[in-house]
Amino acid sequence: MDTVLDLDALSEAEGENWQWSGEVWLRPDYARCLIRLSRGGADAVVVREFDAESRAFVDNGFTVSEAKTHVAWRDRNAIYVGTDFGPKSFTESGFPRWVKLWRRGTPLEQAETLYEGNLSDVRVSAWRDHTEGFERDLLHRSLTMFTNELFLLRHRQLIKIGKPDDADATLYREWLLLKLRSEYQVEDRIYPAGALLVADINGFLAGERHFEVLFEPTERKSLSGFSTTQHCILLNILDNVKSRILVVRRENGDWVSSALPGVSEIATVTAWGIDSDKSDEYFLATTDFLTPTCLQRGIAGGGPPTELKRTPAFFCADGLEAKQFDALSSDGTRVPYFRVSRTQLEHNGKNPTLLYGYGGFENSIVPYYDSNVGAAWLEAGGVFVVANIRGGGEFGPRWHQAALKENRSRAYQDFIAVAEDLVARGVTSAQHLGAMGVSNGGLLVGNMLTARPDLFGAIVCMMPLLDMRRFNVLLAGPAWVGEYGNPDDPVEWKWLRKFSPYHNLSADEQYPPVLFTTSTRDDRVHPGHARKMAAKMLGIEHANVLFYENIEGGHAGAANNKQVARLSALVYSFLRRNLFPS
């Protein structure tokens, strides 16, 4: 192994707990990068320019002080930057509102302003497409979490790409790719939500609307994402929450697709181009609940990929299996879930079972390898369940939009349906059933606590939203009004109050044991949510409440392996004490 930058040594030398938060490479030679360092795991970062050849930070290079910053290379001597430039340089959601061009050797304060978004926007950003022969500069404005505008930046002039605001646009060589969130009517044809369309970008800018369909969703099939190589587009598809990869290429004037072979049945498989402007090589990562990640490398249209690296196993998976089931929600919707357990599971209602979910922001919960779940729960005889409830993206935009705002209760009904299905099948019982969720998932299990305390024997609520009356004035909260609603609107507050756990606590209710966790450094979801919920519950007679706040950790709750180990030990000790048969 070749160490390029020792983050632990850097932290010790500078007296900081630096966490890696990503890097932006300068193309095409990849000699320089902009490194993002997070102090204690927060979303806010410090940016420093790094020379990969000398393996050192660049003296007097591009450096940005701690903030929620966006940076991208324009060329070796200029970068696009959005950061803290003083009053009103951030949106109400706490992200950059201004995009500036900063030239090497000049003070950041003298960077040239290219665009100013509105305070009500989520964020704005800019970057350069360095693809040889298709070099161009782009500017992106996020109006909300789910709507945006994309501009070409030419000679300081903005050319808007006239797409639907809720569609995501990507420029790939001479092509414009549109991923739709809602139906899109062009003349007499309606393209469905969740489809991926392609059009010639020059024709599109000239007013033409001739599209070809690269992917069209079905009731149980969705596009989770895509990547590009020099001549191909790699489609990452979820088919009933199971990964499939399609390779799409242009041949003789048509788009032709073929399946990437060898994809596991219940696994998460992700393909992405390595250097999309120069080769058709791709990386392929495969993992599932019982198998650690395997990284492979292949060539699109070539033979099978070859293995490069495999993460070591951290728990014994012998005698364990993963299966998929469906539960029927209260409105008749089929809700899939994965169950990981021993192969010879007794359906006696006594198996300690941990149910995990999220259900928001079009995020899909797909099979993943979790060493903590494996070592602390599965090896001890527990059952682990992941619920693919509405609000997520498992079946595309419609699955997400089905649980927005006033329909939020559908996500919670789905979770309850999975819990009740586990009980009905004899897998477990309320006494041995636990629920765990993080962030929006913390809001989910907070609602399980207040709405169905009879259904769970213990609840772990991590980095949660819980006070839906004030979420929109705390940190990044304004960005989530499109997901939940606006509590300052009396009409919308009526439905928000129904799923605001803090407001639905009752002094007369018998609640299961609950553990709240948060982080002082969480600058995304304010720790005040967990603090005030725990404080209110401590005033309820017979309530069994535990609260843990890590000083560091950001929204992840832990900032290094030692903190992760401590947090995991707390969580699984709590769950085993309350859910395992005595």
Tell me how far apart the alpha carbons of residues 456 and 431 are, in angstroms, rounded to a whole number. 6
For residue 318, count other CB atoms closer than 10 A to its CB. Answer: 8
* Kind and range of the H or E run holding 440: helix 440-451
Token pair of 264 as six digits: 């596991």
* Residues contacting 135, CB < 8 A, separation 6+: 128, 129
End-to-end CA distance of the chain, in Å?
47
Token pair of 304 as six digits: 């099978």
Tell me how far apart the alpha carbons of residues 128 and 180 are, in angstroms, rounded to a whole number. 24
Whether this prediction's pTM lies above 0.85 is answered by: yes
The CATH fold assigned to 320-579 is Rossmann fold (3.40.50)
341 flagged as catalytic: no
555 flagged as catalytic: yes
* pLDDT tens for each residue of 377-386: 999 999 999 9
pLDDT recorded at residue 1: 65
Q: Where does 229-364 show beta strands of DSSP type E?
A: 232-239, 243-251, 254-259, 268-273, 281-287, 294-299, 306-310, 320-328, 334-342, 353-356
pLDDT recorded at residue 262: 66
Count Cα atoms within 13 angstroms, Cβ side, for 267: 18
Tell me how far apart the alpha carbons of residues 497 and 493 are, in angstroms, rounded to a whole number. 6
* pLDDT tens for each residue of 269-302: 999 999 888 899 999 999 999 999 999 999 998 8
pLDDT recorded at residue 375: 97
pLDDT recorded at residue 546: 98
CB 523 within 8 A of CB 530: no
pLDDT recorded at residue 156: 84
pLDDT recorded at residue 486: 98
Tell me how far apart the alpha carbons of residues 242 and 395 are, in angstroms, rounded to a whole number. 11
DSSP reduced 3-state for 136: strand
Listed by start position, the domains of the chain span 220-312, 320-579
Tell me how far apart the alpha carbons of residues 349 and 335 are, in angstroms, rounded to a whole number. 21
Which of 125, 243, 329, 439 is catalytic? The answer is: 439
CB 354 within 8 A of CB 341: no
N residues, the chain: 582
Which of 222, 224, 555, 568 is catalytic? The answer is: 555
DSSP at 385:
E
pLDDT recorded at residue 155: 87
582 residues of the chain, pLDDT tens digit each: 688 999 999 999 999 999 999 999 999 889 999 999 999 999 999 999 999 999 999 999 999 999 999 999 999 999 999 999 999 999 999 999 999 999 999 999 999 999 999 999 999 999 999 999 999 999 999 999 999 999 999 988 999 999 999 999 999 999 999 999 999 999 999 999 999 999 999 999 999 999 999 999 999 999 999 999 999 999 999 999 999 999 999 999 999 999 887 676 678 999 999 988 889 999 999 999 999 999 999 999 888 899 999 999 999 999 999 999 999 999 999 999 999 999 999 999 999 999 999 999 999 999 999 999 999 999 999 999 999 999 999 999 999 999 999 999 999 999 999 999 999 999 999 999 999 999 999 999 999 999 999 999 999 999 999 999 999 999 999 999 999 999 999 999 999 999 999 999 999 999 999 999 999 999 999 999 999 999 999 999 889 999 999 999 999 999 999 999 999 999 999 999 999 987
Tell me how far apart the alpha carbons of residues 32 and 71 are, in angstroms, rounded to a whole number. 13
CA-based diameter of the chain, in Å? 74
pLDDT recorded at residue 7: 94
pLDDT recorded at residue 542: 87
CB 518 within 8 A of CB 530: yes
